[in-house]
Chains A and B, each alone.
Chain A
Amino acid sequence: MTFKFRSRIFLYLLLLLALFVCSQFVIYLGVESAHWMANPYESLGEGLREVAEAMGLTLWLVPLLVWAAWIISRWMVRPLRAMAKTAGRIRGGRLDERIETAMMPDDETKSLAETVNAAFDGYAGALRRLERFSGDAAHQLRNPIAAIRNLGEVALSRSRTVDEYRETLETMLGELDRLTRIVEQLLQLSRLEAGTLQRRFAPIPLRSVIEQVRQIYQPLAEARGVELAVATGAADVRIAGIEELLVEMLGNLADNALRHAPAGGDVRIEVLAGTGSAAQLVVTDSGPGIPEEFAETIFDRFAQGPGGGTGAVGLGLSLAAEIATVHGGKLKLANPGQPGARFECRLPIVQT
């Protein structure tokens, strides 16, 4: 036999009431018997009648107490009912509804309601990001497809010289390359999110990752007239991870920094001894920085920074952030609204 939560509370209260009445009866009886034992000349019957009278009064109160128990039980489950109802509405698609906690007493039910609300906040946010992402993905894939289509149609609309056809085909291949890259990056993001890469983790010296990235981007920095400064003072630590992914992460950060640093400026890659068991990888450029209104979305897929026209599709920073997360770390923009964007990546280190 199953009882609803409310009936259960009601039954507990009734049980308590019954226990109280019984113990009252036993105590009265005990007191009267003790009195009779001490004064054996008095009649026992007198005492028992007194007990019966007292119990009778109590029994008159019982219906009132039962009614109070019924009300109390309802009052106790009310927050839970409200939560279930709201959760049901949210499940039904009304993602902005939240459980009303303002009137709740500051107890476990309130903290439960707040936890549930926070979980819904998280899901609603994720869902909104996902919606925006699929929209953006479709949009970003459409652009190169439209370009390829237009190029083909225009080329075939009248006859052209061989050189013109060649040029069309070359441009088409360039657009296809862009398309391929977007698809590959999206696939990589879903691979990272699938969370199965951890099986391939090995201890990777952070210094070697930084060194590889420095070697790759040094010539580009020189060609751009940007100084690429690498300070690896605290880099003699190892990260549990996949080396190619870590290179990919830092590579995307370095490329981003190099695109924003002006000629004559600098890009710095440094490792700071982080707090406790983490290392802090910092990439700073001397560019204009990232305004606060972009700080929130800078790691979103297809996010475009200020100006937008740097030629990037907007997946590089998403990839970097996702790689940091896969490695148990966190990538963040440390100084929104200030000149010289500073990206900080906290990575847990392998203890030796």
Chain B
Amino acid sequence: MKDEANKGTAGLLVVEDDPQVAQSLAQGLSEAGFAVSTAGRLAAADEYLANGATALIVLDLNLPDGDGRKWLRRIRQEGHRMPVIILTARDTLAERVAGLEEGADDYLTKPYAFAELLARIRARLRTAVAQSDDEVLQIGDLEIDRLHRQVRRAGRQVDLTAREFDVLALLAQWRGQPVSRDLLAREVWKVNRRLTPLDNVIDVHLSHLREKIDGAHETKRIRTVRGVGFLLAEEAE
């Protein structure tokens, strides 16, 4: 039954043959407000594409009835232009480059943080947090000027180091959603934290940020989501 392409409104199509993974993705993405359909085989995915509008495809590469990359090349030739995010356990650089050359827009290696997949889907659909391209982000009484790299809380200037600012800007970009340590490490420090030990460094920056941003204020904006990452809260708790 899982091979049947479940119909939905113009939404996300998850092409993934592992039922557990497919189900957890579908649940997570639905809860995040997307209409999600799943296909366990490429044939089912084809059927789905033929029958309805699809805003974005999340594609696993190893499928029982074929290679996801060949399928991707074919649907690109057929004229399907929606963004495609590849999820795979194969993670050599060559694989990555090949995937992107076949027409994928993004590439996530398993195991990935769900928050990160969500962030990338939103980025691709441009429904990410409103005005995230703005130079000045306003989150409650917190104002982040990305052009001049200045931060004000309740009108008062907060002095941050360059890295602290980068961390805060990333949290602000994904405000309201947890940002994983992996993403922080990659975006701010440009290293893979699974290979270069960085957790203590991240903790130091977060504790400094908390002190400088939240220290004197009732509303704590920077929160830890244990096991997941950190988030910048839009609303007071």
- Chain A nearest CB from B30 CB (Å) reads 19
Which residues of the other chain, B, contact A319 by a CB distance below 8 angstroms?
A: 195
Stretch at the interface among A126-134, A175-183, A263-271, A298-306: A175-183
Q: CA of A319 to CA of B192 in the docked complex: distance in angstroms?
A: 13
Q: Is A184 an interface residue (CB 8 A)?
A: yes
Option from A174, A184, A200, A215 in Cβ contact (under 8 Å) with B194: A184
With A219-B201, A255-B200 as given contacts, are A185 and B195 in contact (CB-CB < 8 Å)?
yes
- Could you tell me if B196 and A181 are in contact, using CB atoms closer than 8 angstroms? no
The CA of A188 and the CA of B226, in the complex, are separated in Å by 27
Shortest C-beta distance, B123 to chain A (Å), equals: 23
| Measured CA separation A167–B226 after assembly (Å) | 8
- Count: A-B pairs, CB below 8 Å: 69
Residue B197 interfacial (CB < 8 Å): yes
Query: Which A residues lie within 8 Å of B208 (CB)?
Result: 219
Q: How many residues of B contact A (CB 8 A)?
A: 25
Q: Are A185 and B201 in contact (CB under 8 A)?
A: no
A217 and B196 contacting across the interface, CB-CB below 8 Å: no
B162 CB to closest chain A CB, in angstroms? Answer: 9
| CB within 8 Å of A: which B155-207 residues | 161, 163, 181, 189, 191-192, 194-198, 200-201, 204-205, 207
Question: Which of chain A's residues has its CB closest to B185's CB?
Answer: A216
Q: Which of A173, A181, A187 contacts B228 (CB 8 A)?
A: A173
**Bound Cα distance from A170 to B177, whole angstroms:** 16
Quote the shortest CB–CB distance from A193 to chain B (angstroms).
14
Question: Which segment, of A36-44, A65-73, A246-254, A286-294, faces chain B?
Answer: A246-254
What is the 8 Å Cβ interface bit string for chain A, positions 70-97, against chain B (1 contact, 0 not)?
0000000000000000000000000000
B201 pairs with A216, CB closer than 8 A: yes
> Quick check: A220 and B200 within 8 Å, CB to CB?
yes
**Do residues A220 and B201 form an inter-chain contact, with CB atoms below 8 A?**
yes
Closest to B109 in A: A184
Q: Which of B93, B192, B201 has the most CB of A within 10 A?
A: B201
The answer to whether residues A247 and B196 also contact, given A216-B191, A219-B204, A219-B205 and a CB cut-off of 8 A, is yes
Interface centre among B161, B196, B208, B228 (most CB of A within 10 A): B196
Specify which chain A residues have a CB less than 8 angstroms from the CB of B111 in the assembled complex.
Answer: 176, 180
How far is A215 from B198 in the complex, measured between Cα atoms in Å? Answer: 12
Contacts of B226 in A (CB 8 A): 167, 170-171, 173-174
Interface size bracket, A side? 20 to 34
Inter-chain contacts of A255 with B (CB < 8 A)? 196-197, 200
B227 interfacial by beta-carbon distance below 8 Å = yes
Which residue of the partner chain, among B93, B189, B198, B227, contacts A170 with CB atoms under 8 Å?
B227
A316–B92 CA distance with the chains assembled, in angstroms = 21
Distance, CA A191 to CA B93, complexed state (A): 11
A239 at the B interface (CB under 8 A): no
Q: Would A216 and B198 count as touching, CB distance under 8 A?
A: yes
Residues in A with CB closer than 8 Å to B92 are 191
Tell me if A169 and B227 are in contact (CB < 8 A): yes
Whole-angstrom distance between the alpha carbons of A42 and B123 in the complex?
Answer: 121
Known A216-B201, A247-B196; further 12 A-B contacts with Cβ < 8 A: A172-B227, A173-B227, A176-B111, A180-B111, A184-B192, A216-B198, A219-B204, A223-B207, A251-B191, A251-B196, A255-B197, A312-B197
Report 10 cross-chain contacts, Cβ distance below 8 Å, ordered by A residue.
Answer: A169-B227, A174-B226, A176-B111, A184-B194, A200-B93, A215-B163, A223-B204, A223-B207, A255-B196, A255-B200
Binding site for A on B (CB under 8 A): 91-93, 111, 161, 163, 181, 189, 191-192, 194-198, 200-201, 204-205, 207-208, 225-228
A-B pairs, top 7 by smallest CB distance, nearest first, are A173-B227, A170-B226, A170-B227, A184-B194, A255-B197, A251-B196, A223-B204
